[in-house]
Chains A and B, each alone.
Chain A
Amino acid sequence: QVQLQESGPGLVKPSQTLSLTCTVSGASISSGSYFWTWIRQPAGKGLEWIGRIYASGSTNYNPSLRSRVTISVDTSKNQFSLNLSSVTAADTAVYYCEALAAPFDYWGQGTLVTVSS
Chain B
Amino acid sequence: QSVLTQPPSVSAAPGQKVTISCSGSSSNIAKNYVSWYQQLPGTAPKLLIYGNNKRPSGIPDRFSGSKSGTSGTLVITGLQTGDEADYYCGTWDNSLSSGVFGGGTKLTVL
Contact = CB atoms under 8 A, between A and B. Distances in A.
Interface of A: 37, 39, 46-49, 51-52, 60-63, 96, 100, 102-105, 107-110
Given A37-B99, A105-B46, 13 more contacts: A46-B102, A48-B101, A49-B98, A49-B99, A63-B97, A102-B35, A102-B54, A103-B47, A104-B56, A107-B44, A107-B46, A108-B44, A109-B44
Interface size class of B (residues with CB under 8 A): 20 to 34
Contacts of B44: 96, 107-110
A60 B47 contact: no
B56 A63 contact: no
A46 B103 contact: yes
B105 to A, nearest CB: 10
Contacts of B88: 46-47
A107 B39 CA distance: 12
A69 B29 CA distance: 25
Given A47-B101, A52-B99, A62-B98, A103 B56 contact: yes
Interface of B: 2, 35, 37, 39, 44-47, 50-51, 54-57, 86, 88, 90, 96-104
B98 to A, nearest CB: 5
Contacts of B99: 37, 49, 52, 60, 62
29 contacts: A46-B2, A46-B86, A46-B102, A46-B103, A47-B37, A47-B90, A47-B101, A48-B101, A49-B99, A49-B100, A60-B97, A61-B98, A62-B96, A62-B98, A62-B99, A63-B97, A96-B44, A100-B47, A102-B47, A102-B50, A102-B51, A102-B54, A103-B54, A103-B56, A104-B56, A105-B46, A105-B50, A107-B44, A108-B44
